[in-house]
Structure 1
Amino acid sequence: MELYLIRHTETVVPKGICYGQADVDIKEPYLDIFEDIKKQLPHDAIVYSSPLQRCKKMAEFFSDNIIFDNRLKEMNFGNWELKAWNDIPLEEINPWMDNFVEVRVPNGESFEDLYQRVGEFYSEILQKNNNKVILFCHDGTIRSVLSLYHKTQLKDSFSLYKIQYGEIVKIIL
């Protein structure tokens, strides 16, 4: 099976702002980037996407037949959504920075929570054993899949995997 993981393109959110499941848009112009991505992907694949608009727009450009799945959403940053990272109180952010894998964001998720829901989705698509699968998703989602695939520790995922906006990661399963 071929699995294509595509990270959405750059968002309209200014640098330094925390966003995860906030449904933010992508920067224009993006059609040329979408066209370039489309040329690199198989046209006979099963297409899944996060329902957040930054992924949904890409998926809809690529296909009319998309399965949207909430498990592909980015990490839920709870109370921190759309706040400047520098404005998050130190007593809240420091425990998370020390252990982002296990510590949950207030009213949000930990990286382990994200990993678990993405892992459930990943197991399901492996069982379906489709020939080619495309996922339009997010940085955290891709890091989770790569950690599952390579059997690496979550705490190492940010040093091991650098995923750029609009990047395609291909895995052969």
Structure 2
Amino acid sequence: MKLTLIRHTTPDVPKGTIYGKTDVLLKSTFEAEAEIVRMNIGDNKFDRVFTSPLTRCRRLAEFCGFGYADVDDNLAEMDFGDWEMKSYAEIEEHQLEEYFNDWRHKVTPGGESFEDHQRRVRVFINECIRDGYKSVLCFTHGGTILHAMILAGSIDDERPFDHIPAFGSMVNIEVTEPLI
């Protein structure tokens, strides 16, 4: 199955703000960024189109002509719980240190872990494979795309954050078998 993943355009949040599952606004450059995304999609055809439930993804899907995209909660960004909409400066240093020392397993207060998020992405991909799709388009988030790339073996999971796709970018991966 060919999985085409598109990251939403630039959010209108201050640099250094943790916004994960928060439904944030997009910058005033949305239309210009979205037009580039639409051109990059071109006339490609897909068996199915999905979007994260968050407005920043649904709005891009609609702009690109996919207003009918199915909303799938598994495509949402990681939930950072009590850290949502806080800057790193607002979080106690010892909490940040604990989190970054074990980011794969550590859960932010009231949020989910990296592993929990990856589990959601695995469920989504396996459902697409089970349903027999050959080509799927997803409007989603940087973290969700990272997990898909890790699960597909496209990137090493030792330093995944080095591979976060740019806003409005498109990543294609191939997945041929259900993921364990």
TM-score range, shorter chain: over 0.9
Q: Give the letter for the 2:151 counterpart.
A: L
Alignment-derived partner of residue 56 in structure 1:
58
Matching of residue 44 in structure 1 with residue 55 in structure 2: no
Q: CA deviation at 1:43?
A: 4.6
* CA distance, structure 2, for counterparts of residue 130 and residue 35 of structure 1: 27
Find the counterpart in structure 1 of residue 97 from structure 2.
94
For the 8 Å contact 1:2–1:131, the answer to whether it is kept is: yes
CA deviations on 1:58-107 (whole Å, 9 max, x unpaired) are: 01112132100111111101010001111101232211111111000011
The match for 1:79 is 82
Q: After TM superposition, what 4+ stretches of structure 1 lie above 4 angstroms from structure 2?
A: none
Deviation at 1:56, TM superposition (A): 0.9
CA gap 1:152/1:44 in 2 versus in 1, 3 angstroms: closer
Tell me what 1:19 maps to.
19
Gaps of 5+ in 2: 176-180
Matching residue of 2:131: 128
**Cα-Cα RMSD:** 1.6
* TM-score scaled by length of structure 1: 0.92
Q: For structure 1, which runs of at least 5 residues remain unmatched after alignment?
A: none
Q: Mean Cα displacement is larger for which, 38-47 or 88-97?
A: 38-47
The equivalent residue for 1:167 is 169
- More divergent stretch after superposition (116-125 vs 149-158): 149-158
Q: 1:155 to 1:103 in 2, by over 3 A?
A: farther
Whether 1:147 and 2:150 are equivalent positions in the alignment is yes
Q: Distance in 1 between matches of 2:24 and 2:140?
A: 13
Q: Say which is worse superposed, 146-155 or 135-144, in terms of deviation.
A: 146-155
Q: Which moved more, 1:29-38 or 1:133-142?
A: 29-38
Q: Does 1:109 align with 2:117?
A: no
Aligned equivalents of 1:25 and 1:128: distance in 2?
33
Give the aligned partner of residue 178 of structure 2.
none
